[in-house]
A and B are shown apart, each in its own frame.
Chain A
Amino acid sequence: MSTVDTPPPTAATPQPVRKPDGVFKVALRMWRTRIGVVLLVILVGIALFGPYFAPYGEQEFVGQPNTRHVEGTLLGTDYFGQDVLSRALHGGRSILLLAVASTALALVFGVAIGLVAAYNRGRLDDVLMRSMDISLAFPQLLLALVALTTIGPEPWLIVAIVAITTTPRIARITRGAAVPVVERDFVGAAEALGESRTRILWSELLPNVSGPLLVEANLRLTYSIGLIASLGFLGFATRVNAADWGLMVNENRIALSVQPWGTVLPAIAIALLTVGTGLIADGLSRASAGIDRAKGDQ
């Protein structure tokens, strides 16, 4: 360079390598996210490992139905004389697995559709997004009820129907987040190098929409839990007399005044689970939008 070209002071002592703080890291500085994570860990723990700690079996008869104080039980019996606590410990697994599976499935398809639409624009974009809009017009619960009454309450059908109805929402968010990224020059640079379309979608676009996507995935998980619980409440449990938080609320609601635990316990579990994922979604969205960033930095 020239005579006056002193090397920048930073060149001699490179700063320590630091990946730009991820959305998760920023989000975890907020109390709302921390509370959400704690709730989620507890509830997921109960749902997954609860059955191992349950004092009685899932469908074991322990005493007189709808009674608060039964020898050997903590919270009494339900409408069928089964232990409420054991039922609640058993009833989270199916709801959680179904919700996670359907959200994951929706995420895969929604992200793929959204990225393809954003990157290609033009007619393909129109066709994809308009068909997403059309499927959004059907109410989620109604569509699920129609499918389940026609075919029957199969687990795969619940997963499929929740995934199908969630996909357009995720696709829309993904497309919205990806459109401004597509216009940035590093995508042009990749095109000029002749990177394949798949690679551009996967490694140029996807990492740069992961923030809003994470938020959306969490939000959709929250809604899926609610939807699957509602289906359970309406009687679409996957097995006969299976323990299921949504179904439990329905089964025991007649005896609410006599034996509230049968209804309240699963209701609290569903509420805490959705509040947990909701708080995490909120924290992530604040982190990715840059709200609270200045505060979080200190």
Chain B
Amino acid sequence: MSEHVTLDIRDLRIEVDGTGNDIVDEVTLQVPRGQVLGLVGESGSGKTTVGLAVLGHARKGVAISSGSIEINGRALLSRSAKDLRAMRGSLVTYVPQDPSMSLNPALRIGTQILEVLEHHGFGSSQQERRERVEQVMTEVALPNDRDFLRRYPHQLSGGQQQRVGLAMAFACRPAVIVLDEPTTGLDVSTQSHVLATVRDLCHQHGVAALYVTHDLAVVANLADRVAVMYAGRIVEQGPTKAIFDNAQHPYTRHLTAAAPDINSDEPVIGLRGRAPAPGKRPAGCAFALRCELVTDECREQFPVERPVLRDHLVRCFQAGRGERLTPAQTPVSVRRDSESAPALQIRHVDAAYTGHQVVHDVTFDVPRGQCVALVGESGSGKTTLTRSVGGLHREWNGEILLDGVALARSSRDRPTAQRLSIQYVFQNPYSSLHPRRTVGESVSRPLRVAGASAREASHAAAEMLERVSLTAAYASRYPDQLSGGERQRVAIARALVCKPSVLVCDEVTSALDVLVQAAVVELLVGLQRDLGLSMLFVTHNLPLVRSLAQQVVVLADGKVVEAGPTEQVLTRPEQEYTQRLLADTPSIAAALAAD
């Protein structure tokens, strides 16, 4: 690397106190001045732990046991706690995931930024510091007038809050900045602005940035280099283009195949299983358990890092081998029987949330056997609308027809048969399953409500578990023994067990990692094909829509702005709003093409 290396991490090992199990091991990374390194991996891969280690911090119960971290040639890990405190916020700074949690709600934002400068003794006078506050506000594209600086965090939008977080991080002109999924909670348009700000600031001020995320599309658009982490180790790193175009490690190839892209109509490909937890990692390659190219060599020892090309390193014996990943299933060929009535009709629905109208005169159909994606940013009213369909939200007017029959407002007022024919899969699989009930009990419950005997119900439940690619053995487990993806499969099985006419999926993949998300999408596509399901799929994730839905309804501020076949809406949008939404959605293909 010819450029000046600002952040230099070598052989970092981070252990759980007491047990000595490695959370992170053999991590070596360099970030040159003014560059952004994207650190990607699924949850639990240790990427946040590495990010925090750059600040000389390890969370409770965890310790940095060996290796070195240098910033501008100065070692960091050997410093005293006092030195580290002085360094954090000035030499190296951190932008956390959720700005609404990280800003002090009791302090005005101007005061908070000023506090950072004062604490680190920036500038020589109060006047100079105030000027720096105004300057840094301009840098992050926020107003810098007195009125704005006197606001409290709750008076700002999520995007503005994250910009204040960035302003605090950039205030003292740090050498290194660690960003931990800073755009996760933001809408795509806000996200694209925040990302542009991060990129500009790093390039302009020569800051080395470590961008921790699970979102590959963001990384493709932002990062100069990418490092892929799996089970606490870096398995591949290289220039962004090389990682996406010429991935060598099977895991990287799986990651890119699982990431949906707005500019490509290739279906996503999922991968089952989960990464081994610290203490359960095998002696050989940690990915061997899930890898289709695995050999005995892989099981025996962890491959060392070796270069593929200049700057492109990979840790795999099978690097570059293997076919291109292809989905096994054919895409859904939808029966277009215009004869049969739509499964679900939504007619002039208005809905209010605690008195405020959030859905205005929405009309659309879910044709039988098709998947309709309801797309919108947060606050667009999509969840309120779907909860109204499910009978969980009562403040609505208009007509919702199921198989041509009008539905009562609340699920309590609907006949049992009708209730069972609309089933709902919730966003968060960690809260949608009763924690003290076995999987089998949860899945068979709808049948028991329908009047089946315990025997019939548990038999059908076991069958449905097989259907969602779990085994019948799962029936006796409790939700806390399952991974997020497995839980969501159980929730889908529970929804499908009584053969509903309409399945409502409310952001069902947003709590899941990209590989798991892809596997769940594959499952839904397969179920739609085999069972002829009619589905209402709610999401804010536009790229995902393409692999799944035949129709798209775009919702903004509670109104339908555009509706039509998926291909048409996503490639030739007519409305300005949709066009802007598509333009703001980060795309891997577009980012690579632009380089």
Instruction: Name A's B-contacting residues (CB within 8 A).
Output: 1-11, 14-15, 17-20, 184-186, 188-195, 204, 207-208, 294
A145 to chain B, nearest CB (A): 42
The docked-state distance in angstroms from the alpha carbon of A232 to that of B416 is: 56
The docked-state distance in angstroms from the alpha carbon of A20 to that of B434 is: 12
Q: Are the CB atoms of A8 and B274 closer together than 8 Å?
A: yes
What are the nearest 3 A-B pairs in CB distance?
A185-B432, A14-B473, A185-B426
Beta-carbon nearest neighbor of B329 in chain A: A2
Knowing A2-B522, A6-B273, A192-B419 touch, does A18 contact B478 (C-beta < 8 A)?
A: yes
The docked-state distance in angstroms from the alpha carbon of A186 to that of B441 is: 13
From DSSP, what is the main secondary structure of chain B's interface residues?
A: loop
Q: Are the CB atoms of A11 and B446 closer together than 8 Å?
A: no
The docked-state distance in angstroms from the alpha carbon of A243 to that of B329 is: 81
Q: Interface size (B, Cβ < 8 Å)?
A: 58
Q: Are the CB atoms of B434 and A6 closer together than 8 Å?
A: no
Residues of B within 8 A of A191 (CB): 391-392, 411-412
The docked-state distance in angstroms from the alpha carbon of A14 to that of B462 is: 15
With A1-B328, A5-B522, A188-B392 known, 12 other A-B pairs at CB within 8 A are A1-B270, A1-B523, A2-B270, A2-B522, A3-B327, A5-B469, A8-B486, A184-B431, A185-B427, A185-B431, A186-B431, A192-B419
The docked-state distance in angstroms from the alpha carbon of A207 to that of B491 is: 20
Q: Are the CB atoms of A189 and B426 closer together than 8 Å?
A: yes
For A189, give its contact among B416, B436, B481, B494 (CB under 8 Å): B494
Interface residues of B in 407-461 (CB under 8 A from A): 411-412, 414, 416, 419-420, 422-424, 426-428, 431-436, 442, 445-446, 449
The docked-state distance in angstroms from the alpha carbon of A14 to that of B475 is: 10
Residues of A within 8 A of B427 (CB): 185
Q: Is B325 an interface residue (CB 8 A)?
A: yes
Q: Are the CB atoms of A4 and B269 closer together than 8 Å?
A: yes
The docked-state distance in angstroms from the alpha carbon of A190 to that of B431 is: 13
Residues of A within 8 A of B115 (CB): none
Q: Is B477 an interface residue (CB 8 A)?
A: yes
Beta-carbon nearest neighbor of A8 in chain B: B273
Q: Are the CB atoms of B328 and A5 closer together than 8 Å?
A: yes
Residues of A within 8 A of B392 (CB): 188, 191-192
The docked-state distance in angstroms from the alpha carbon of A10 to that of B325 is: 24
The docked-state distance in angstroms from the alpha carbon of A10 to that of B483 is: 11
Interface residues of B in 51-93 (CB under 8 A from A): 61
Q: Is B476 an interface residue (CB 8 A)?
A: yes
Residues of B within 8 A of A4 (CB): 254, 269, 271, 292, 325
For A5, give its contact among B272, B434, B435 (CB under 8 Å): B272
B431 to chain A, nearest CB (A): 4
Q: Are the CB atoms of A20 and B326 closer together than 8 Å?
A: no
28 contacts between A and B (CB under 8 A): A1-B519, A2-B328, A3-B326, A4-B292, A5-B271, A5-B328, A6-B273, A7-B272, A10-B273, A11-B473, A14-B473, A15-B477, A15-B481, A184-B432, A185-B427, A186-B432, A186-B442, A189-B432, A189-B494, A190-B445, A191-B391, A192-B411, A192-B422, A192-B424, A193-B420, A194-B420, A207-B436, A208-B434
Q: Is B474 an interface residue (CB 8 A)?
A: yes
Q: Is B242 an interface residue (CB 8 A)?
A: no
Residues of A within 8 A of B271 (CB): 4-6
Q: Are the CB atoms of B424 and A188 closer together than 8 Å?
A: yes
A214 to chain B, nearest CB (A): 14
The docked-state distance in angstroms from the alpha carbon of A3 to that of B271 is: 10
Residues of B within 8 A of A10 (CB): 273
Knowing A11-B470, A184-B431 touch, does A193 contact B272 (C-beta < 8 A)?
A: no
Residues of A within 8 A of B349 (CB): none
Residues of A within 8 A of B61 (CB): 294
Instruction: Name B's A-contacting residues (CB within 8 A).
Output: 61, 254, 269-274, 289-290, 292, 325-329, 390-392, 411-412, 414, 416, 419-420, 422-424, 426-428, 431-436, 442, 445-446, 449, 469-471, 473-474, 476-478, 480-481, 486, 491, 494, 519, 522-523, 526
Q: Are the CB atoms of A1 and B522 closer together than 8 Å?
A: yes
Q: Are the CB atoms of A1 and B526 closer together than 8 Å?
A: yes
A216 to chain B, nearest CB (A): 19
Knowing A2-B522, A15-B481, A207-B436 touch, does A192 contact B272 (C-beta < 8 A)?
A: no
The docked-state distance in angstroms from the alpha carbon of A11 to that of B424 is: 26
B53 to chain A, nearest CB (A): 22
Residues of B within 8 A of A194 (CB): 411-412, 414, 416, 419-420, 449
Q: Are the CB atoms of B477 and A193 closer together than 8 Å?
A: no
Residues of A within 8 A of B446 (CB): 193
For B391, give its contact among A1, A184, A192 (CB under 8 Å): A192
Q: Are the CB atoms of A193 and B328 closer together than 8 Å?
A: no
The docked-state distance in angstroms from the alpha carbon of A248 to that of B325 is: 84
A205 to chain B, nearest CB (A): 10
The docked-state distance in angstroms from the alpha carbon of A6 to that of B445 is: 30
Beta-carbon nearest neighbor of A7 in chain B: B272
A24 to chain B, nearest CB (A): 14
Q: Are the CB atoms of B270 and A189 closer together than 8 Å?
A: no
Residues of A within 8 A of B449 (CB): 193-195
Residue among B274, B436, B470, B523 with most chain A CB within 10 A = B436
Residues of A within 8 A of B477 (CB): 14-15, 17
Residues of B within 8 A of A186 (CB): 431-434, 442
Residues of B within 8 A of A208 (CB): 434-436
Residues of B within 8 A of A20 (CB): 435-436, 478, 480
Beta-carbon nearest neighbor of B390 in chain A: A192
Q: Are the CB atoms of A14 and B424 closer together than 8 Å?
A: no
Beta-carbon nearest neighbor of A22 in chain B: B436
Residues of A within 8 A of B422 (CB): 192
B457 to chain A, nearest CB (A): 13
The docked-state distance in angstroms from the alpha carbon of A1 to that of B518 is: 11
Q: Are the CB atoms of A192 and B474 closer together than 8 Å?
A: no
For A6, give its contact among B272, B328, B491 (CB under 8 Å): B272
Residues of B within 8 A of A3 (CB): 292, 325-328
The docked-state distance in angstroms from the alpha carbon of A9 to that of B291 is: 12
Q: Are the CB atoms of A9 and B481 closer together than 8 Å?
A: no
Residues of A within 8 A of B491 (CB): 189
Residues of B within 8 A of A17 (CB): 476-477
A192 to chain B, nearest CB (A): 5
The docked-state distance in angstroms from the alpha carbon of A278 to that of B495 is: 45
Residue among A3, A18, A185 with most chain B CB within 10 A = A185
A77 to chain B, nearest CB (A): 55
Residues of A within 8 A of B419 (CB): 192-194
B407 to chain A, nearest CB (A): 12
The docked-state distance in angstroms from the alpha carbon of A204 to that of B441 is: 12
Q: Are the CB atoms of A8 and B272 closer together than 8 Å?
A: yes
Knowing A4-B269, A195-B449, A207-B436 touch, does A189 contact B519 (C-beta < 8 A)?
A: no
Q: Are the CB atoms of B270 and A204 closer together than 8 Å?
A: no
Residues of A within 8 A of B436 (CB): 20, 207-208
Residues of A within 8 A of B442 (CB): 186
Q: Are the CB atoms of B431 and A6 closer together than 8 Å?
A: no
Residues of A within 8 A of B416 (CB): 194
